[in-house]
Amino acid sequence: MRVVLGVEYDGGSFAGWQSQAHGNTVQDVLEKALAEIAGLPVRVVCAGRTDAGVHAFGQVAHFDVAVDRPDSAWVRGVNSSLPSTVAVRWSRVVNNDFHARFSAMSRSYSYYLLNRPVRPGLLSGRVGWFHRPLDLEAMNSGLQQLIGEHDFSAFRAAECQAKSPVKHLHLARVQAAGEVLRFDFRASAFLHHMVRNIVGALIYVGKSKCPPQWIGELLESRDRTLAAPTFDGAGL
């Protein structure tokens, strides 16, 4: 049968989601914990792979298994074998035509940026940081130019494996809560480093290095070399 899970994790100590030979990934530790409950090897497929240092509130993943276990086993049982930085929040049995990646209607990311002169202490590893004041209105103005279906090549990592750079961005905004800025994005799918590259470009706008319309110009250029550096993954 096919089981789907909702998973949250702190990505700070992991080399990203996707399994690697050294075993220090979210997928590796989750599959190991699932195998202990299933009594046989388990392979997991996720809705969207995250990079090293990137966190998740609601990663969706599925796996196929030939043994029957109650939902509590796939949640509390698996959690007992996971490191403290990873937790299964819920599980349910689904039809075999469900696929965590291909059945997803959209995906959402939030980026948290501490905007103050002094670097973070308590929030270290959980937020990005920029020391100079940022213009929220200018950044939101730049963001609006990204909404809709576009070729996002200017915000795509060189190693991105996506078949097409064309994605539909449904939501893009930034809001302030005290010293923390929250960037919210929802799209059909995302390219490798797409959110972090957009945030990096918005920092240039927010600190008045570039005007808001520069974001639209970057988008139209489809040239990654013209954009800002990829921003820190800790806040994603």
Question: Cβ atoms within 10 A of the Cβ of 224, count?
Answer: 19
| Residue from 10, 51, 64, 135 carrying the catalytic annotation | 51
Is 51 catalytic? The answer is yes
Structure tokens at 190: 């995302």
Indicate if the pLDDT at residue 136 is higher than 90. Answer: yes
- Whether residue 143 is found in the same domain as residue 37: no
Measured distance CA(116)–CA(136) in Å, rounded: 14
The tens digit of pLDDT for each residue in 75-121 reads 999 999 999 999 999 999 999 999 999 999 999 999 999 999 999 99
CA distances from residue 6 to 41, 46, 96 in whole angstroms, order as listed: 20, 10, 17
Measured distance CA(82)–CA(76) in Å, rounded: 10
In this prediction, residue 161 carries a pLDDT of 86
Mean pLDDT of the chain: 95
> Residue 70 belongs to what domain range?
2-94
- Residue in 48, 71, 26, 33 with CA at minimum distance from that of residue 195: 48
In a domain, 206, yes or no: yes
218 membership: H or E segment, kind and range: helix 213-221
Cβ contacts of 72 within 8 Å, gap of 6 or more: none
In a domain, 205, yes or no: yes
- Residue 22 banded pLDDT, cuts 50, 70, 90: confident
- Whether residue 23 is found in the same domain as residue 114: no
Q: Region 174-194: what's the mean pLDDT?
A: 96
- Whether residue 111 is found in the same domain as residue 90: no
The answer to whether 160 and 192 are in contact (CB under 8 A) is: yes
The tens digit of pLDDT for each residue in 156-168 reads 998 888 899 999 9
Domain CATH number, residue 204: 3.30.70.660
Q: How far apart are the first and last CA of the chain?
A: 33
The answer to whether 136 and 181 are in contact (CB under 8 A) is: yes
- Whether residue 78 is found in the same domain as residue 152: no
In a domain, 99, yes or no: no
Length of the chain: 236
Looking at the DSSP bridge assignments, the partners of residue 109 are 185
- Point out the domain boundary residue: 62, 94, 126: 94
- Whether residue 129 is found in the same domain as residue 62: no
- Residue 23 banded pLDDT, cuts 50, 70, 90: confident
- Residue 25 banded pLDDT, cuts 50, 70, 90: very high
The tens digit of pLDDT for each residue in 7-21 reads 999 999 999 999 988
- Domain total of the chain: 2
Measured distance CA(45)–CA(18) in Å, rounded: 9
Looking at the DSSP bridge assignments, the partners of residue 93 are 3
Domain CATH number, residue 6: 3.30.70.580
- Point out the domain boundary residue: 49, 71, 94: 94
In this prediction, residue 130 carries a pLDDT of 98
